Amino acid sequence: MSLELNRRTFLGAGAAGLGYFFTASATSAARMGRRPNETLRFASIGVGGKGSSDVDNVSELGEIIAICDIDDAMLEPKSQKWTSAKRFHDYRRMFDRIGKEIDAVTVSTPDHNHALASLMAIRLGKHVYCQKPLTHSVFEARVLMEAARKHGVCTQMGNQGSAENGLRRAVELVQAGIIGPVKEVHVWTNRPVWPQAPDITKRPDKADVWPPSIHWDAFIGGAKLRPYVAKIYHPFNWRGWLDFGTGAIGDMACHTANMAFRALKLGHPTSVSAESGQLNPETYPAWARVKINFPARGDLPPVTVTWHEGKKDGNLVLPPEELLKKVLKKDEKLKESGSILVGEKGILFSPDDYGAEFRITPEGLAEGKDLKHPERIPSNGGGDLGMKKEWVEAIKANKPEIAYSNFDIASLLTEAFLLGNVAIRTGKTLEWDGPGLKVTNVPDANRLIQTEYRRGWEVTRD
């Protein structure tokens, strides 16, 4: 297992050898702002996979001055497209060398590198667009929210359903009271669709010599050192590994639970519990069902959100059959992803990853003559590119709130559902102190709230 674990001792084992110890100024470059007609200068961290479309999108909205990826095969096509952009394999080195030249950053790495890349940018006064889930741990989500507020930057999480007008309309209708008070929500997904338990429950017994085109130290980031094995972790299968991904709930809840979370004005839960398939020390389980309890919010009643993921005995884990019968039409087949909000007057059913498509049962409620009609949410409808345009609009107006999935909401959404992973891994009901950022009844669970990092890759609070 030690084969090629040391390519020049992993390039010095972190930031200590590169001098990366950032201090934040209370007056950030972002607060000083740029004139509205100036061209924004973007750096993109992660330019393969989803990162490919992210960098392509922002190139329409400004200038790409730097690209960063651990894989030369991902970097090369983008280098040919933007020949003047500087190339990097380690985002810490990028910030150290050209941080002053950058205005805004996209972060499209595996989950375990989201927080540090975003945090370093924020502390340098850079605006950040980070892919979902916002972070790898509950602690990291809180850190990013606090840092974004402190440094006055504009942020956006890449759950592109937030730009869909259908989602925004669903939020308006629920908040207007069309289905009455909601105490029960169900959200489901067919994920995982990548390797994890029960097929993979331990690390490979082999190690490969990583090619010079793969910069393995930068991929590992703050996780514990492990040998490179071709196609096991990179470029996609990292999602099912505890050290790198966040499993099905991390991958999809920021999409599929987003509409309900917003519509019901959810924040910190009070308790979380879970049942799941067999656990192991390396990968997420084959299936899980998580219950997240939220307290009353003003005149809104307490609500339980139940998350259903994966397959148990070959069948999707789904909401109760009697509830599905109420929302499905004759001969209609249930989609493999969606959400249901159960109100006292009716039910909102969304057979959609993003909550952008929905219908209300019974249909007569849609007339809603006595609705409270909240303030309309600005329309977007631009999908993935629309999310970036809205973020850039926020930057140029110096108004972080314009970005609909800014880190104030994104961090709360991420925290709540990543707590589900903590409940899965402990197998216990967790009582949660949101403001205090701790589990109060199972002290050992708090070791899963915050990650231990390799030296030079630490995520810390300001």
The predicted structure's pLDDT at residue 168: 96
Our count of domains for the chain comes to 1
- Give the Cβ contact number of residue 273 at 10 Å: 17
431 within some domain: no
Alpha carbons 122 and 125: distance in angstroms, whole number: 5
The confidence score (pLDDT) of residue 374 equals 73
Nearest CA to 67 out of 159, 277, 48 is that of 48
How much is the pLDDT for 365?
79
Q: What is the pLDDT of residue 129?
A: 99
Residue 116 in tokens: 């540090």
Q: 32 in a domain, yes or no?
A: yes
Q: For residue 365, give both structure tokens.
A: 């409620």
C-alpha span between 306 and 340 (Å, rounded):
10
Is residue 365 in some structural domain?
no
Residue 128 in any domain: the answer is yes
Residues of the chain with pLDDT below 70 are 1-37, 366-371
- Using alpha carbons, list the distances in angstroms from residue 89 to 47, 196, 283: 11, 27, 27
- C-alpha to C-alpha distance for 286 and 344, rounded to whole angstroms: 34
Whichever domain contains 153, its CATH number is: 3.40.50.720
- pLDDT at position 447: 97
Q: How far apart are CA 324 and CA 330, in angstroms?
A: 11
Q: Is the pTM of this model over 0.85?
A: yes
By three-state DSSP, how is residue 81 classified?
helix
The domain of 397 spans 8-162+385-406+442-448
pLDDT at 366: 66
Asked if the structure places residue 294 within a domain, the reply is: no
pLDDT tens-digit map of 217-265: 999 999 999 999 999 999 999 999 999 999 999 999 999 999 999 999 9
Question: Which DSSP string do the residues of 91-155 spell out, in sequence order?
Answer: HHHHHHHHGGG-SEEEE-S-GGGHHHHHHHHHHTT-EEEEESSS-SSHHHHHHHHHHHHHHT--E
User: pLDDT value at position 418?
Assistant: 98
Instruction: Flag whether 99 is in a domain.
Output: yes
Residue 132 placed within a domain: yes
Q: CA angle, 335 as apex, 182 and 322 as ends, to 5°?
A: 50
Pairing label, strands 40-45, 182-189: unpaired
Distance between CA atoms of residues 134 and 412, nearest Å: 10
Measured CA to CA, the distance from residue 404 to residue 174 in angstroms comes to: 17
Query: In the numeric block, which tokens belong to residue 434?
Result: 């949101």
80-109 residue pLDDT tens: 999 999 999 999 999 999 999 999 999 999
| CA–CA gap between residue 21 and residue 153 (Å, rounded) | 20
pLDDT of residue 182: 98
The answer to the question of residue 30 being in a domain is yes
DSSP state of 400: G
From residue 103, alpha-carbon distances to 31, 42, 118, 163, 413 in Å are 11, 6, 13, 23, 26
**Separation between Cα atoms, residue 372 and residue 175, nearest integer Å:** 8
How far apart CA 439 and CA 139 sit, in angstroms, is: 12
